[in-house]
């Protein structure tokens, strides 16, 4: 192992309740962060591409004379992947607590890459008829099942490697990978939209982003296979004399019910606002506000670039002032500013759209910077991967991933273009309640783990 356990000086008395601290290896920590972030980047590269090219995918796989029906069908397939995420979490999460985080993360990487690559090979509806949307749905289900173990595993992996006083900063790089994947996917779609004609994009150009997932998956798998298990998991293995007893699924749920409820509430506000801004807004600008598609994508790309710049600084801030104040600020901001921001966006001018989107993006950073460190700290080491996978994916499936579909349907049913703002405000109220009841974890050891220090 590249981590060492050190004992205290003779003048210090250690009891069984205060285990010797784990001294982290900076080089190994950096490798762990890179491997976890790259996997997350690949996952969100796919989601970014799917969201930003949704209008084209609707034409390829769901022919219809009604653009709204096409968009609903496309987002329906998008949301279907989230319905199987809890199943993936129930499989990969407990497995990660039994056989190790590193092994499971390697498997999820392979499945994600394979599912995304397969989408790029599916014939269009005009070629094979109804088989095309069926194959698209099957590929999305593979992706959804694999991602059921991805975010919880990656955040657990970084959290268990990071020293206690820098967990927020190092965890923030996981969402830096998310933004990088979104920018990569959206940037590629924007470039193709600008360079290719509408016919070329519909006939073959849309396949390019999905086919890129193959090489990305190989690189990510290589990085993850080179890593060792986390110090926290290795310590648990030693306690059990290298034979991990199987933790019942019931214990991961009923034994952690309070932490699970907090996890669901925190993930709800995190993912509703995340998918609203990064997945739904490009289609909202194009289909509902009739905004120029290329300009709309460029605005969102600029907002994500701004978020990437701020992300590590916000992560470091959570180490200084705590996770709770930062998350609470994000909830309050979405409650108070969602309507003004959307009104700015609806004005349609480039400056107004950019300002409204930037305001929402900076509020979202409060969650992307704090959640990767806050969520793993809700659970003890013995059940951390499994319980976090279940809570995270149940919330994402019910609320986050369905956001584009639900908001599109609400606008279609009511004709009210302010529905995105109302939806984000409702989510912020739930998130605020979760923050009220959660404990502060900044600068403290993870539950069930020894203190982790840099020296």
Lowest mean pLDDT among 55-69, 263-277, 292-306: 55-69
Burial class (CB within 10 angstroms; exposed 0-12, middle 13-18, buried 19+) of 10: exposed
Cα dist. 175→39, 163, 239, 370 in Å? 11, 18, 32, 10
373 is a domain residue: yes
Cα dist. 81→144, 337, 401 in Å? 4, 31, 8
When mean pLDDT is compared over 151-160, 192-201, 423-432, the highest value belongs to: 423-432
Maximum Cα interatomic distance, the chain, rounded to a whole number of Å? 79
The pLDDT value given to residue 424: 95
B/e letters for 90-114, b = 16+ CB within 10 Å, e = fewer, are bbbbbbbbeebbbebbbbbbebbbb
Better-predicted residue by pLDDT, 20 or 415:
415
Q: How far apart are CA 282 and CA 197, in angstroms?
A: 19
Domain that holds residue 73: 24-240+248-448
324 is a domain residue: yes
Q: How far apart are CA 67 and CA 186, in angstroms?
A: 21
39 is a domain residue: yes
Q: List the structure tokens of 200.
A: 């070329």
The pLDDT value given to residue 18: 58
4 is a domain residue: no
7 is a domain residue: no
pLDDT at 245 over 70: no
9 is a domain residue: no
Nearest 5°: phi and psi at 163?
-65, 150
45 is a domain residue: yes
pLDDT at 237 over 50: yes
The pLDDT value given to residue 65: 59
Lowest mean pLDDT among 56-70, 317-331, 361-375: 56-70
pLDDT at 219 over 50: yes
The pLDDT value given to residue 6: 39
Contact 185, 44 (CB under 8 A): yes
Lowest mean pLDDT among 351-360, 362-371, 421-430: 351-360
Q: Rounded mean pLDDT of 77-87?
A: 77
Contact 115, 146 (CB under 8 A): yes
| Structural domains of the chain, count | 1
Q: How far apart are CA 441 and CA 322, in angstroms?
A: 7
The band of 75, judged by pLDDT with boundaries at 50, 70 and 90, is low
Q: List the structure tokens of 417.
A: 């273009």
The band of 378, judged by pLDDT with boundaries at 50, 70 and 90, is very high
Better-predicted residue by pLDDT, 104 or 7:
104
B/e letters for 396-418, b = 16+ CB within 10 Å, e = fewer, are bbbbbbbbbbbbbbebeeeeeee
The band of 249, judged by pLDDT with boundaries at 50, 70 and 90, is low
Contact 345, 288 (CB under 8 A): no
CATH number of the structural domain spanning residue 405? 1.20.1250.20
104 is a domain residue: yes
């Amino acid at each position: 192992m590249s981590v060492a356990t050190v004992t205290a000086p003779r003048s210090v008395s250690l009891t069984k309740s205060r285990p010797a601290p784990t001294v982290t290896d900076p080089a190994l920590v950096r490798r762990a962060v890179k491997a976890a972030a790259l996997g997350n980047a690949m996952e969100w590269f796919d989601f970014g591409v799917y969201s930003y090219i949704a209008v084209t995918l609707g034409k390829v796989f769901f022919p219809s004379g009604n653009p709204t029906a096409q968009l609903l069908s496309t987002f329906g397939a998008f949301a279907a992947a989230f319905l199987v995420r809890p199943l993936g979490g129930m499989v990969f999460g407990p497995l990660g607590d039994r056989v190790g985080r590193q092994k499971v993360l390697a498997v999820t990487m392979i499945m994600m890459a394979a599912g995304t690559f397969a989408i790029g090979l599916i014939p269009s509806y005009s070629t094979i008829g109804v088989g095309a949307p069926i194959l698209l749905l099957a590929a999305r289900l593979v992706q959804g099942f694999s991602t059921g173990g991805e975010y919880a595993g990656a955040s657990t992996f970084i959290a268990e490697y990071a020293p206690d006083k820098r967990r927020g900063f190092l965890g923030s790089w996981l969402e830096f990978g998310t933004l990088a994947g979104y920018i990569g996917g959206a940037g590629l779609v924007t470039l193709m939209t600008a360079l290719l004609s509408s016919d070329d994009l519909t006939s073959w150009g849309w396949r390019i982003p999905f086919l890129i997932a193959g090489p990305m998956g190989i690189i990510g798998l290589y990085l993850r296979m080179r890593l060792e298990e986390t110090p926290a998991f290795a310590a648990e293995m030693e306690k059990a004399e290298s034979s991990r007893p199987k933790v019942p699924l019931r214990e991961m749920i009923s034994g952690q019910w309070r932490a699970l409820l907090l996890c669901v509430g925190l993930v709800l506000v995190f993912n509703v606002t995340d998918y609203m801004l990064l997945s739904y807004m490009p289609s909202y600008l194009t289909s509902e506000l009739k905004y120029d598609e290329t300009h709309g994508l460029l605005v969102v790309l600029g907002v994500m670039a701004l978020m990437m710049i701020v992300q590590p600084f916000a992560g470091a801030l959570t180490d200084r002032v705590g996770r709770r104040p930062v998350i609470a600020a994000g909830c309050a901001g979405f409650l108070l500013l969602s309507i003004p921001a959307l009104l700015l966006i609806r004005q349609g001018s480039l400056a107004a759209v950019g300002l409204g989107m930037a305001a929402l993006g900076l509020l979202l950073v409060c969650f992307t910077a704090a959640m990767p460190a806050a969520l793993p700290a809700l659970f003890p080491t013995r059940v951390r991967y499994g319980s976090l996978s279940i809570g995270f994916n149940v919330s994402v499936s019910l609320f986050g991933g369905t956001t584009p579909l639900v908001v599109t349907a609400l606008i279609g049913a009511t004709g009210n273009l302010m529905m995105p703002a109302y939806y984000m405000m409702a989510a912020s109220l739930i998130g605020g309640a979760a923050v009220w009841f959660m404990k502060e974890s900044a600068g403290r050891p993870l539950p069930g783990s020894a203190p982790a220090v840099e020296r």
